[in-house]
Structure 1
Amino acid sequence: MIIQISRTRIVQVSVLFFLTIALWLTISLWESHQVHESPEGKVVVTFNFLAPMKPAATKDLIITQAATGKKVPFEHQWLTASKLQIIISEKSFPLGREYHYRFKAAPAMIWPFYVWSAGKFQGKVTVKFIGIEGNHTVPSKGPIILQFNTNLDPRKISNFVSGPVPGKLIPAGTDYSRWEFWPNQKLNNLYRYSMSIAAGLPDQQGGKLEQSIKAEFVTTPEFLIEGVFPVPGSNSIWLTREILLQTNQQLKSAKVDIQGLPGRCIIEDKTIRYIPERIMMPGTTYNVKARLISTSNESLDFAYSFSTTNLGQNRWLELKLEPTPVLWLMEGPKTLKSFAVRVRADRPIPRGTLYEANRQSDANKQSPWMRLNADILLHPLPENMRDHHEQLGLPKSYSCIYLQAQDAKELFNTLPKGFMLISH
């Protein structure tokens, strides 16, 4: 059987096919949206579709922040089968952020139509000044931090905001709702000032601040040193004396430099404690330079010096217990030699200044020992041998410092009777 199709019929079918494809593409790719006036902190958007949509279409809607790409949760309701309203809650500044949206195969009620579309929108916000951050404790050198509710136009803000003295405005973060004003000169401490913000200050969407504002703030008290230990200019300071600086404000950071005495700083509220890697050397003048910054961003530079006790050229020992015990043979302020040592883990060596009480060796000086006044014994002990004093012919003691045999003999022959050991 031969079926005959006229040219007219072919044209009609073709037109119908292409119209169907065009309709499918139009429904699939077209949607419109409208951003509504809404309470502050809410972004309300209505999406309109050509075809009635299934309620499950919201599962195929993804909204992200334009600045971060982070996915944003939203509430929704269907006003009609072809009109969807969503609500985004903005719980932090800046308000009126820009968002990207994407419908990915959102199903319509009429098969085989699906919506594939993407775009962006931005919430509507009235420009408001929120306040000056920490307005009763503003650093005298800046910054004065101004918080607005939305992103301002960075090209025009300097025309509308001025400080009590000339200065510069820079963004305080990654957005344009928070700004830092840095004065060109130090402000007086504990003094009341104001920032002027003129009406017409624009945001990035064309909105403007409706009224001029005078925002007052008070600067912090003067940042001062209240205590220094050792006292500046003091002499004969003992080698293990703590190095402390005390201020009148809580500290955020501190840098302390003592030439010839490397170490680290520990901040405890208003106090800096300097912990040197080794103890101070005798007969030495130390110059201290400190750069301190308070939590209110006040800065302070302080320098002083002190001198330690002079031990002459006497020989003595320094023992550092942590992280790995090490012993130094000293001659006055000079380090002669270092020794790897071991200590008893169950009976810690006391920290402080110890002195030799007595010493003894066999006839050949092969097993010398030296007893300190805290009942601490320095003696040789091979690593594979247990510390049984009776078997080794050693006196009883509270704890021990173990040396290599050659090191024990060297110290026995080198150190004067009654020598000093400082443990830390």
Structure 2
Amino acid sequence: MKIISIRYVIPIMFFAIISFLFFYADVRTVSPETVDAGVEVAINFLLPIKHTGSPPRVTVIPEYPSTPVSFSVRQAGPATIVIRMKQEGYPQGQLLKFSVEDVSTVIPLLKKTARGQVRPKVGIKLISQGQIAVIPSRGPVQLQFNTPVEYKTFRKYTVLPVPGKILPLNCSVEGVEFTDYSRWEFFPDKPFVHGEQYKITLGAGIRSLGGSQTDRPVEVSFTAAEPPKVIRTEPAGGEKKVVLYRPVECELDREVESALIRITDPSEDIMVPGRTIVEGKRVVFRPVRAFLPGKTYKVFLAADSKDHEPLGEYSFSFSTVEMGNKYWVDVRLGDIHTVKVYRGDILVRHMVASGGREATPTPIGSFYTQDRGHSFWSPRFGEGATYWVRLVGQVLVHSVPKDDRWKTKEDEHARLGLPASHGCIRLDEKDARWFYENIPMGTLVIIHE
């Protein structure tokens, strides 16, 4: 048997003692149930603590990311420090992981580190009971406690009104995914009956992860939401000779949370571009271009009420006015100002334009072309233009402005597509001439945003 030399034993023992002194720390929870005041943890070291100008470095990590936790550190004895941690908001009773580093001791250069975790014991309360009144027919029923609860006892002592699944909520905060056992969702296997009342019983014996337990049952009652209904549409379903530009509106019998209107031309399977706006009980679709003449359009409405109950399938159709072989003009003052000339339902010419600035907007609506002229000069603005066609009052379609030498203003030409005029519709010189020479008096011009 090989005997270790005494010259090796002493360094080994010395290293073991130093390691024990460095790593040992007795961590004990002082007040696990004083949640309002905070939970206190006492850390006892073997070596006395030395006061220095640098406080120990403390880190506290809550169980759920982004939960605010305040803490303070105090010395409670020659070799003892106490950390008080207080968590704000819900859920209470989260597992708090903490570490204390760089604790100076009486031995020079020897600094202590301690780590641990604590879960405050919190009495269980259902805090969502007052928020549960009307529930979507497909769920979920959301139950929120003030503290995380055990999966096993929650499932065991919860009585559901109908078959279904009840699960804790899976969350993601700042890219960290976790399961929140303070929030639960119940989804019925089959939809609740509209307007019927239901009850969930949370029995005595449900335990929190901190060890507290419910001592009496709690009943949660709710009513299954009624589906929203459409009471009016504009245009009406089946309406004919609808004007070529107008918003499509649907009014429901209750407040709308979210909605989407889609409009298609079934004959060509073309979707009409536009945006849906929710205004209380009204859902409005604003197309970004005029409807084509002599077409039948189908409107599809999807909507959820404020109770998150879906409308179900809803659709209606309308037909636009006939234009024969006549010219008509669609002016859009959107992100890019454009003028589109149609003959019947055929696009003849697409032109970039400039409508009025915010201070001098172009009027919105339907107008008819009037008189015209080859050119004009405006002393008021110190500029002129060519190939003008009057729409209404002093609002004209004309070329990009020219200066006093009758040269096109290049800076104004560069703004085609953007709001730039005093209210008129500006076009490139070639486009203005084409418009002047081809669009007859009395042609319909629709101006919209």
Q: Which runs of 5+ in 1 are unaligned?
A: 1-9, 388-396
Q: In the alignment, is the contact (CA less than 8 A) between 1:239 and 1:282 conserved in 2? A: yes
Q: What letter corresponds to residue 307 of structure 1 in structure 2? A: S
C-alpha distance 190-46 of structure 1, shift in aligned 2 (>3 A):
farther
1:336 matched to 2:333? The reply is: no
Counterpart mapping for 1:104-115 below 5 A:
104-115=101-112
Q: What letter corresponds to residue 93 of structure 1 in structure 2? A: Y
Report the equivalent of 2:370.
357
1:182 matched to 2:187? The reply is: yes
For the aligned residue pairs, the C-alpha RMSD in angstroms reads 3.2
Q: Could you report, residue by residue, the CA deviation over 1:77-101 in whole angstroms, capped at 9, with x for unpaired residues?
A: 4332323332222232222212222
Report the equivalent of 2:446.
422
Report the equivalent of 1:124.
121
Instruction: Give distance in 1, aligned partners of 2:374 and 2:92.
Output: 82
1:155 deviation in Å? Answer: 5.5
Q: Which runs of 5+ in 2 are unaligned?
A: 172-179, 265-270, 376-384, 411-420
Q: What letter corresponds to residue 340 of structure 1 in structure 2? A: V
SS in 2 for 1:412: helix
Instruction: Give distance in 1, aligned partners of 2:300 and 2:208.
Output: 46
Q: What letter corresponds to residue 223 of structure 1 in structure 2? A: P
1:404 matched to 2:428? The reply is: yes
Alignment identity in percent? Answer: 25
Report the equivalent of 2:32.
37
Q: In the alignment, is the contact (CA less than 8 A) between 1:327 and 1:339 conserved in 2? A: yes
Counterpart mapping for 1:77-156 below 5 A:
77-132=74-129, 134-154=131-151
C-alpha distance 75-226 of structure 1, shift in aligned 2 (>3 A):
farther
SS in 2 for 1:52: coil
Counterpart mapping for 1:15-414 below 5 A:
15=10, 19-35=13-29, 36-41=31-36, 42-54=38-50, 59-68=56-65, 72-132=69-129, 134-154=131-151, 157-174=154-171, 175-204=180-209, 207-259=212-264, 260-301=271-312, 302-345=314-357, 347-361=360-374, 368-381=387-400, 385-386=408-409, 399-414=423-438
Instruction: Give distance in 1, aligned partners of 2:43 and 2:67.
Output: 21
Q: How many positions carry a matched residue from both structures? A: 402
For normalisation by structure 2, the TM-score amounts to 0.79
Q: Could you report, residue by residue, the CA deviation over 1:366-393 in whole angstroms, capped at 9, with x for unpaired residues?
A: 9643222333222334775259xxxxxx
Report the equivalent of 1:7.
none
Instruction: Give distance in 1, aligned partners of 2:106 and 2:221.
Output: 59
Instruction: Give distance in 2, aligned partners of 1:40 and 1:279.
Output: 63
User: Which has the greater radius of gyration?
Assistant: 1
Bigger shift: residues 25-34 or 266-275: 266-275
Instruction: Give distance in 2, aligned partners of 1:189 and 1:75.
Output: 53
1:179 deviation in Å? Answer: 0.7
SS in 2 for 1:46: strand
1:354 deviation in Å? Answer: 1.0
SS in 2 for 1:410: helix
Instruction: Give distance in 2, aligned partners of 1:45 and 1:169.
Output: 36
Q: Could you report, residue by residue, the CA deviation over 1:26-79 in whole angstroms, capped at 9, with x for unpaired residues?
A: 222111222343134543322222222246686322221244387842134433
Q: What letter corresponds to residue 17 of structure 2 in structure 1? A: L
Q: In the alignment, is the contact (CA less than 8 A) between 1:142 and 1:297 conserved in 2? A: no
